[in-house]
Structure 1
Amino acid sequence: MSSSITFSLILISITSALILLVVLRSFNDNLYALDLDQFSGPSVSLIGKTEGGARGDGAGSCRMAWMNPVYISLSHSSLKSRLKGKYKAYLYREGGLDPEQPRGSPVLFIPGNAGSFRQTRSFAAATAKLYHHEKNSATAGTRSVPLHTAPEHPGLDFFALDFNEDLSAFHGETLLEQAEYANEIIAHILNLYTNSRPINHSGSIPVPTSVLIVAHSMGGIVARKMIRMPNYVNGSINTIISISTPHTLPPTTLDRGIETVYNDINQFWRKSYFERSPLPNVLKDLLLVSISGSTSDTTVSPDSSSLLTLAPAPYGLTFYSTAMPEVWTPIDHRAVLWCDQLRMVVAKALLAITDARIPSQVKSLEERASILRSYLSSGHGLRLGSEINQRIPNFAFDPISHTLHSPLARIKLDSGELNRPEAFVHILPLKEDNSEVVLAFDAFTLLTNLPLATHLDVLACNGTFKIDRLGSCKLLTTQYSTTLPSSHFHLQPSSVPGPNDEADPHDVFNFINIPRSALSNSDFVVLLTSTSHPSLKDPTFLISEFRTENTNQRIDASLWTLSLWGINLPNLSRSSRPSLVSDLYLPGMDSSVLAFKVKVNYPSKCEAEATFAPLMRQQTPILNESKLHPNIHSAILYTHLSTVYSPIPRSLNDKSQSGIKLTFWNDPYACEGGLDDENIKLSIRIDWYESARKIILKYRTALVAMPLGVVSIAFALQIHYFRKSGIFPSLGFALSTLTERYLLKALAVVVGVQFLQSAILNASLGVGQHHSTDNFLASSPTWISGLLLGDRHPSFAVLDCVFVVVGLGWTSLAYVVIHLICVILSKLWPTLIGVSDTAKAKKQSTLHSLSTSGSRRKFSINTMALGGLILFTTFMAPYQFAFLIVLLLHLFQTLRILAVNDKTENRNLISIESSNQFHYYFSILFIMIWLLPGNIMILMVWIKNLFTGWYKPFSSDKNVEYVIGYLFWFWMITNQNRRMFSHFEKRSFLNLIMIMLLGTGLFSILYGIRYTFRIFDMFNIVFMFIALLHYNSSSYKSHSG
């Protein structure tokens, strides 16, 4: 009984180890590495193919950023702050460009977890260089770039906070301190401009009343918490641009302080925007922007960066780097701060939304939202700046300079037809001759590599071209356009840009999609190409067509069906005639937990004769999230749409909004044909590696919660056998018994709970679409939404069971490893644990031979030591320090008992009580080791503060009651000479402890992933009751009486 481990438990352990290897491999796949060595803009490789993993493939790769940083420390002499001895602030100056005195619009950079104030240099340098380049070009009259700033714009001043690289992701009080200090620094920064603005600008530009926030990672949470702090200066924050910030859920749930901060800010946001109440003043003009690096971010789950359930547009905007024009690549958690493409796009947007002529320093909320969309979503602002042409170009009618096509004609123009010395018009009628009815079509689509507005305009006109010409036309060039990465079969390698080099402009495609509704009152469409220019890249092309519904397909397969069987599509288009654009809707692919792999096969004619290589975009419509794949052959499909542990948007009832939409661009002239072997074929299968990575990234706390649930139930089984037989079995035996007798029952309970949760969550979602922001979210009580994986899909019951089984396997592996380590340590250091020779071991092996003459003296010493530890924890250290001390002392106690038993020559002298004692102590040690991760994080924060010279204790972690159970238990067993409690007395008390352990185990499995920090509190209560059991045992009374 003491060491029995069954075959089934061994099999589960081996399977769990293999799953762990798969997960580790998914994080170290070479195909997932960023494509840094190519530097080919929106390309992927020298052959142009998009293949391999999910993180490195796609339409881009990051270029290195260069800067010349100078940091000026801000004086704290006039700052009244209790934290000025711990934190600092700096003003960034770009060497050779920025003057020492601040004079522009203030921007404050807030670093994230373990982040540095120096991380501001990338964005600050980009804005400085861009600003001075534009001003110099405008002054010299040689503007070669679109202006992103007004002529009177004074530029931006970047300030940065130095938080000593605090570990803010693991400690709520650290977040609160950072928010408090950031508010004080903002007030200090605004005071700086009372002197600098009048001196530099003769009072023509007002003194700023607010600061624009740029925050990385947990810095975004700090920024949101700032407006909830008592020292917040009203109106001092109106724009927060967060980068890789986990807004909806904390990255770990090991600290109650982090949970408190998240609950406060998220409830405030949701109640303010989605409930029937007046919008608070602090949010009326506040724009919150979230930028995510998508799947390359393995530090923060990209799903939690979405603002979908926190703030509606225009108050909350979410952008993914894979969808950003001229970025088009996933970026990891650190690289988002130096990726050259991203920083340039953000720098242009920052300059465009600021306006120093206004005291708030930014444009109106609606203008800011519109500008950010144009820069970070459509790409219009990047190419055209503030000069988007809204005027119809002058055009002198010439019979030779136009072509009249047949109604709804598909046309293809090459370089010879586009690079004309004069402007040219292509006329596309929407009606038959002598007809007043617009012909049937869904949308007008156009793909080209011509620059829009400057070399190509699209107009919708009324009347007839010969009579009305362009007099009754409206311009639609940019309103319905999207910038896409170019897609080529073969690419030339690009040189790596150096610190003084300008990156070459991206070679992009422009796609225009005008819906029928926008053309319903028009008679014809005009394509107006301007005169040829040397800047046009050769070869140029233009393909346009009028789409029909046959270019759209929808496959209503459930997530379960997609996961098991996948999809095989023999023909991408429902018609025999290929289309320029084809859409495939997969509404069932609506979970961010799983990833799929798509493979596309094209006819050989497509690759041999096409003007451009096939291009694919995967998109989640409800999130405006997308990723582009040039020269698509295979790619990973995923979505960041997540309703895990959060309210569910009712718009998910609209199947056109949920799931994934795939859009394919092909050259229809090269791919047309009707035979089966000439069709574009597509297959989709689940990607196990990427799915494993996403699951662990999202549910990483399951690595702690599930084993704690398993060992808690196993400990209850040990006490059950001890109560019945007087023999305390090993933890290995308890795990084997749990596997053989109770595992299937436990899995049945988990499946039933998942089905119940899914039914309630889907019922709360209701039917029909939302019609206002008041019923946009479907909320459920936390006791439902916080269960298991927090997902509404009933098919996730399978994944729940996998977590439980794998948790059991990992617990068993950990048991073997920790037991082996204890055996080795007990043999290596016998003198350290108090065993010096065999005779002493024999003497200590029989508990009745232990002397009790000094028990009262020992009782006093132990009480004084415990009191000292409590005082030190109360006034100096966090309570996690006391837990660590108890764990280490108990480790030595366990090793001592093991060494005593091991040193006994006659194995018969090892009494049942000695064996019981070791198994009992080892189980307690095993539990405490699994409880250690959350406590270690807080201790790291405390130790780091000590090294930086900050000795003030945490006010939130001085509560000794959080560890009083562990302390009382250790005090009791120490005063009992490490004896076991009796198994035949207080059986009702034993039953109560068993019930508490079973409840703790059940909570850990059902709620532990979401509320991991509460497991520590529950075990604290359990340890208190075990200590009371020791106190009431007859063995204790005999020793203390």
Structure 2
Amino acid sequence: MRFVPGTIALLSVLLVGYLYSSTVDTARSLSPQGCRMSYMYPSYVLQSEFDVTWTPLAKRYSLWLYREVDGHGQGWEATHVSNGVPVLFIPGNAGSSRQVRSIASSAVRQYYDAPHSVAAEFKTRAAHLKPLDFFAVEFNEDLSAFHGPTLEAQTAYTARAIAYILSLYPSGTSVIVLGHSMGGIVATALLSDSDIGTKIAAILTMSTPHTLPPARFDARVDALYARNAGVLHSDRTPIVSLCGGATDMMIPSEACVLPLPALAHAELPFRRTVFSSALEGAWTGVGHQEMVWCHQVRWRVARAALELGAADTPAGRGLVLDRWLRDGHALPRPLPLPDAHDATALGPPERLPAEMHLVLRQPRGARTYLLPLPAANTNTSAKFVLLVAQGSIGPVGPQKAPPLKVEVFKCGGLGVDEVRCSALEPDVLKLMPSPVLGRPFPIPKEGSDESEGIVLFEAHVPLGGTAKWVGVRMEGGEGAGWITGGFVGDEPFTSSVGTLQLLLGRVSVPLADLGALRASFEFPNLVSNTLVVYRLTPHHRISEKPCADPLLAPLLVHTSHPSETHYFPLTVLPTHRILLHTHAAAPHIRSQNTVPPGLRFIVYSSGSLGCKSDLVGFALSIDWPATLGRWASRYFTVLPTWAIGVVAVILFQAWGSEVNRPTPIPTVPESLASFTGKPLRRLLLCSVALSVVPLPENFYLGNRGEPLFFAIAPLLLLISTGFVCLSWWVLQALIWPLGRLGRTGFRRRREETSVLRSTVISMGLIFLLIFLFVPWQVAFLGFWIIHLYNCAASQVHTAHIASIPDTVAIPLLRREGETTADEPRRPARPPAHIGNNHNHSMHLLLLMTWLLPLAAPVLVVWVRTLAVAGLTTPFDGDHFFLSAAPFLVLVDFASWTNGPLFERQSFERIFPVRWAFAGLAAAAFLVGSRKAYFVFDVAKVAVGLAVFIKIGPRYWGRRSWSPA
């Protein structure tokens, strides 16, 4: 069985390598990025007057004002700030104030067309629209995602920064807040301040994990998130969350979705989540860092901020945000509908034959077309679809408004000359992309051209009433673009295929002639979860006369979430994968039931133009590389916590040898070999069983018992076990040189009379250092290093003792005058507890090693803060010295004791202390993936119980041990 740990370790390394490559590939294939680069000429003005008189944190952080300049260093705007609208940018984890430059530059160059010259678009509105003054806080790239006190310090500094900024403006001025990544968490936390929250006009967050912290190693981060959840449900300030989707590899994008407000009345606070793949005019996935400079996103954020300056109510600000940051799922409000009119106003309307689609290439002039309603049979309404390229329908169209304008009416009348029409209100009205045939979508580093976008209009028209036609009125046609529309079937193609069938292989879905404008597909039995990715492969017929130059080639629209839409051209390159995924349901996220279960998508095309579409069907399957990449990106924090669970089970087994004395404590390799046998097989079976139990989202893997994901838990358990085995070899590699250096004997002994005094002094100094300066995690790292050194010494000592031969010396004949003192003596066998102590120490070293990853984030934050800010401010939090006390006593006692390291107490026959490590294992497996910090807390309790019960009396000198 000795080869089994090595095999599992090698398998784990190979699995992690494959999962890593799958995760990296996910960012490229699942939601490709097509961001255009943004350019600017930045300059920054330090706000030196915002000093320690405002906040002590001014020694640690700073505040800057952005100013755009030209190529010669001349400014585009005035140096004073009293006439503009203040905007504050808050960077995120390891972010910089310089990240404000892309959005700030776009705002300047939209408002001005030349230095100090207001653009014509804004000149007529100059009385209401003012230029923006972009401020940015500099946090010196603090690692705020890992440390709650750092987030709280940033919030406190930002609150004072807002107070300072508003002091530069007239009374009553409010500030617009932009937050990137964890900066959005800071921005939301500001709303809980009654003085500052009321002075924030709106909050725009970018790639901010609102519902789930990206690093779950600090309970204070969870506490801050809990406070923010209350703010998000109740505060009136409008908030928009922009999410990059699957392209964002820094945060799980389902955590970027704002929770729905809890209020159930008309006065709901404005909350919007917009995925960049659905953002009108963007239509691309956006990476975490790219969110602040992606041109298709940054100019819309800048324009929304400009327009917010003219809105003075929460409702008005909500309308502005809906106008400039639309995802197409909600109709624009207010939606200006055309008034009722005489259809003959533009000349005699053209009536199309029944069941014929309207198709206009390069429309010119102005005209009205009437499409007759279908005959009323069993249906009470008919679905009308209209597509307009390089034009607009009402307020929806490309940003640079083309001259082609289209209006849609429902019409009735008695004769040709008596046709009266009234506005037809749409169910769907949005701008869709028009992918370039033969090129990937979105085009890398270019994206899609918004001016080529297509306006989609869908509406249900009641049948059996006075309406007889749907009227389509066009004006301003100059020969660019096209218009096509007509009535389509409203019944979706529904398939009963289930997830189990896809596990066994792919399923083919044949299509009839795709000549209609719209065809919808539903697979209600498929699982819709962020942990599964489906692959769609279109099938095309080989035709001698293919459709040439279609207006709109088949375009698949997958709306997986009310805020997330992806567009896939079905005439794609052979190497391109069409991957359908969602962020609607995800691990550890409470489902809001915003979408029906299953997989649904719609295929749009320009309709029949005298030839049949060459799309004859598609195949649907599970894309396992992308799916495994999703598993890895959601559960990477599980590995250290479950590894702690594995070590805890190993400790539980090793300490079980005390029950049947005098069985010695096994070595770590023996424990690993024993664990990878029957115990591991039992744990694997238990992990599968727990995977199908509908536990709440905060427990276990947070997938609420979905059977499809039963394999995730045993896979993670196997990898965690392999990494525990691998870590043991790494420790052995570290111990070997330390042991060589310490052969001269460096184990120390204490006189019993000095134990109490020396212990009190040394522990008091260490605790004082923790209380005043270093976080206890730093002390824990020190204890681990000392224990590693002691284990190396113990290994050398134990090996030396074991090398003494077990022989009996034969006494020599005494000569006259010799004494018995000269007679050789029989070597004494070493006490059994020496080997046991070493094995105990090595097991505990393995446990402390896997606790290090849970303490490492605070260690990194402390070192980073010390390197950047120095001793300007104390390091907040993490100074509870009792957290380090169990490990201090354990490491210290193991370094000098002459007796057994742990002594079994009589009451342990009823409740052995080793069951504390069983509790640690349970905590690691059940809540470790959601609350890693809780696992460390349980580990401190388990080690503390062992120290208090098995070591305590002897450590303080009240009772010494002597060999029997």
Match of 1:179 in 2: 155
Could you tell me whether the CA contact under 8 Å between 1:981 and 1:1033 is conserved in 2? Answer: no
- Check 1:620–1:954 CA distance in 2 against 1; reply closer, same or farther (3 A cut): same
1:151 Cα deviation from its structure 2 partner: 5.3
1:479 Cα deviation from its structure 2 partner: 7.4
1:123 counterpart (103, 106, 114): 103
1:451 Cα deviation from its structure 2 partner: 0.7
Match of 1:690 in 2: 626
- Check 1:995–1:387 CA distance in 2 against 1; reply closer, same or farther (3 A cut): closer
Counterpart-to-counterpart distance in 1, 2:635 and 2:487? 46
1:366 Cα deviation from its structure 2 partner: 3.1
Structure 2 unmatched ranges of 5 or more: 70-74, 394-402, 807-828
Could you tell me whether the CA contact under 8 Å between 1:430 and 1:438 is conserved in 2? Answer: no
2:651 counterpart (715, 725, 728): 715
- Check 1:1010–1:585 CA distance in 2 against 1; reply closer, same or farther (3 A cut): same
Could you tell me whether the CA contact under 8 Å between 1:148 and 1:352 is conserved in 2? Answer: no
Match of 1:298 in 2: 249
Kindly indicate whether residue 144 of structure 2 is the aligned counterpart of residue 168 of structure 1: yes
1:920 Cα deviation from its structure 2 partner: 1.9
Structure-to-structure mapping, 1:147-226, within 5 angstroms: 152-194=128-170, 207-226=171-190
Structure-to-structure mapping, 1:718-729, within 5 angstroms: 718-724=654-660, 725-729=662-666
Higher helix share: 1
* Per-residue deviation, residues 229-251 of structure 1 (Å, max 9, x unmatched): 4x743511241111000111110
Could you tell me whether the CA contact under 8 Å between 2:60 and 2:872 is conserved in 1? Answer: no
Could you tell me whether the CA contact under 8 Å between 1:405 and 1:428 is conserved in 2? Answer: yes
Kindly indicate whether residue 252 of structure 2 is the aligned counterpart of residue 339 of structure 1: no
Match of 1:5 in 2: 2
Could you tell me whether the CA contact under 8 Å between 2:150 and 2:876 is conserved in 1? Answer: no
Match of 2:396 in 1: none
1:214 Cα deviation from its structure 2 partner: 0.5
Kindly indicate whether residue 560 of structure 2 is the aligned counterpart of residue 620 of structure 1: yes
- Check 1:939–1:136 CA distance in 2 against 1; reply closer, same or farther (3 A cut): closer
Kindly indicate whether residue 518 of structure 2 is the aligned counterpart of residue 570 of structure 1: no
Match of 1:826 in 2: 738
1:751 Cα deviation from its structure 2 partner: 4.1
Match of 1:888 in 2: 785
* Per-residue deviation, residues 1-41 of structure 1 (Å, max 9, x unmatched): xxx5353x444434322221111112343x844xxxxxxxx
Match of 1:771 in 2: none
2:483 counterpart (533, 542, 553): 542
Identical aligned residues as a percent: 22
1:85 counterpart (59, 62, 66): 59
After superposing the two structures, state which structure 1 stretch, 317-326 or 605-614, moved more: 605-614
1:345 Cα deviation from its structure 2 partner: 1.7
1:458 Cα deviation from its structure 2 partner: 2.9
After superposing the two structures, state which structure 1 stretch, 932-941 or 405-414, moved more: 405-414
After superposing the two structures, state which structure 1 stretch, 904-913 or 1007-1016, moved more: 904-913
Tell me the number of residue pairs that the alignment of Structure 1 and Structure 2 aligns.
909
Could you tell me whether the CA contact under 8 Å between 2:342 and 2:420 is conserved in 1? Answer: no
1:67 Cα deviation from its structure 2 partner: 1.1
Could you tell me whether the CA contact under 8 Å between 1:993 and 1:1025 is conserved in 2? Answer: yes
Structure-to-structure mapping, 1:713-862, within 5 angstroms: 713-724=649-660, 725-758=662-695, 785-823=698-736, 825-826=737-738, 830-831=740-741, 834-836=742-744, 854=751, 856-857=753-754, 860-862=757-759
**Match of 1:486, as an amino acid?**
S
Other structure's SS at 2:213 match = coil
Structure-to-structure mapping, 1:401-800, within 5 angstroms: 402-415=349-362, 418=363, 420=364, 422-430=365-373, 442-453=382-393, 454-464=403-413, 472-474=421-423, 480-490=428-438, 506-516=451-461, 522-533=467-478, 537=480, 540-550=481-491, 552-571=492-511, 573=512, 578-587=515-524, 588-605=526-543, 608=548, 610-621=550-561, 623-633=562-572, 634-642=577-585, 644-650=587-593, 657-669=596-608, 680-724=616-660, 725-758=662-695, 785-800=698-713
- Check 1:914–1:785 CA distance in 2 against 1; reply closer, same or farther (3 A cut): same
1:97 counterpart (76, 95, 105): 76
After superposing the two structures, state which structure 1 stretch, 874-883 or 658-667, moved more: 658-667
1:25 counterpart (13, 21, 27): 21
- Check 1:306–1:1026 CA distance in 2 against 1; reply closer, same or farther (3 A cut): same
Match of 1:204 in 2: none
- Check 1:899–1:468 CA distance in 2 against 1; reply closer, same or farther (3 A cut): farther
1:61 Cα deviation from its structure 2 partner: 0.7
Match of 1:250 in 2: 213
2:86 counterpart (82, 106, 116): 106
Counterpart-to-counterpart distance in 2, 1:577 and 1:593? 31
Counterpart-to-counterpart distance in 2, 1:521 and 1:813? 78
Counterpart-to-counterpart distance in 2, 1:128 and 1:681? 49
1:744 Cα deviation from its structure 2 partner: 3.7
**Match of 1:487, as an amino acid?**
P
**Match of 2:434, as an amino acid?**
S
**Match of 2:292, as an amino acid?**
L
* Per-residue deviation, residues 117-158 of structure 1 (Å, max 9, x unmatched): 111111111111111139999876xx6xx9996653112111
1:438 Cα deviation from its structure 2 partner: 11
1:545 Cα deviation from its structure 2 partner: 2.1
Match of 1:353 in 2: 308
Could you tell me whether the CA contact under 8 Å between 2:380 and 2:463 is conserved in 1? Answer: no
Structure 1 unmatched ranges of 5 or more: 34-52, 195-206, 273-282, 356-361, 762-783, 845-849
Kindly indicate whether residue 38 of structure 2 is the aligned counterpart of residue 62 of structure 1: no
Counterpart-to-counterpart distance in 2, 1:805 and 1:521? 69
Could you tell me whether the CA contact under 8 Å between 2:390 and 2:451 is conserved in 1? Answer: no
Counterpart-to-counterpart distance in 2, 1:555 and 1:495? 33
TM-score, with structure 1 as normaliser: 0.80
Counterpart-to-counterpart distance in 1, 2:903 and 2:754? 28
- Check 1:853–1:894 CA distance in 2 against 1; reply closer, same or farther (3 A cut): closer
TM-score, with structure 2 as normaliser: 0.86
- Check 1:602–1:1030 CA distance in 2 against 1; reply closer, same or farther (3 A cut): same
Counterpart-to-counterpart distance in 1, 2:337 and 2:103? 29
Other structure's SS at 2:677 match = helix
- Check 1:943–1:982 CA distance in 2 against 1; reply closer, same or farther (3 A cut): closer
1:658 Cα deviation from its structure 2 partner: 3.5
Counterpart-to-counterpart distance in 2, 1:289 and 1:957? 34
1:712 Cα deviation from its structure 2 partner: 0.5
Match of 2:821 in 1: none
RMSD over aligned Cα, in angstroms?
3.7
Match of 2:321 in 1: 372
**Match of 2:940, as an amino acid?**
N
Counterpart-to-counterpart distance in 1, 2:588 and 2:772? 37
Could you tell me whether the CA contact under 8 Å between 1:328 and 1:627 is conserved in 2? Answer: yes
